[in-house]
Amino acid sequence: MTVPCDKVDVEFFDTAPSVHRARVEVAATPERIFDLLHDAEAWVRWAFPITAVEWTSGFPLEVGSTRTVHMRGGLVGYEEFIAYEHGSRMAFRFNEASRKGVRAFAEDYRVSDLGGGRSAVEWTMAMDTGSTPKLVDRVVSPVMTAGLRFMLRRFARLVESDHTPAGSR
């Protein structure tokens, strides 16, 4: 059974009830960063809630591409890309989820070339659970943001390591 989610667009990153952002500088080129973002196995290594990623529409990626993401606790997200510019931006939303509690969910990864083999990676996570009271969100929000920062630092270490993506495109 799947539950439909609101089909949000890129404006959702500015209007969602709950938005969390993190940024890190990485000793890597945008191409290297996108090699890891394309690698289904790499997501499991740095994004601890994720247990598996399956590309369902193949490569090359573009707006409308799809994938399925399995997460701890049994949540499965059926995603569609709402923005894609190789080397600079990758954003997707949940079209459906395996259970209730996610009215809308989207993530945006922006990569900026800083020159000299360095890049900045900005990660925005936006969501609407439809039921989170503002007081609870004020408590949960700093924890979510800290979690994003932690995972983004793990991503940076993975990108900077000698790891060669299995599914590199």
* pLDDT value for 5: 97
Partners of 125 in beta bridges:
20, 107
* pTM exceeding 0.95: no
DSSP run (H or E) holding 135:
helix 134-160
CATH superfamily entry for domain 3-160: START domain (3.30.530.20)
4-12 mean pLDDT: 98
Token code pair at residue 50: 């994720």
69-79 residue pLDDT tens:
999 999 999 99
Per-residue model confidence as pLDDT tens digits over 92-148: 999 999 999 889 999 999 999 999 999 999 999 999 988 765 655 666 778 888 999
Q: What is the pLDDT of residue 40?
A: 96
- What single-letter DSSP state applies at residue 129? -
Which of 130, 128, 147 lies closest to 21 in space, CA to CA?
Answer: 147
Structural contact between residues 43 and 66, judged by C-beta atoms closer than 8 angstroms: no
- Report the pLDDT value the prediction gives residue 136, as an integer from 0 to 100: 59
| Segments making up each domain of the chain, as ranges | 3-160
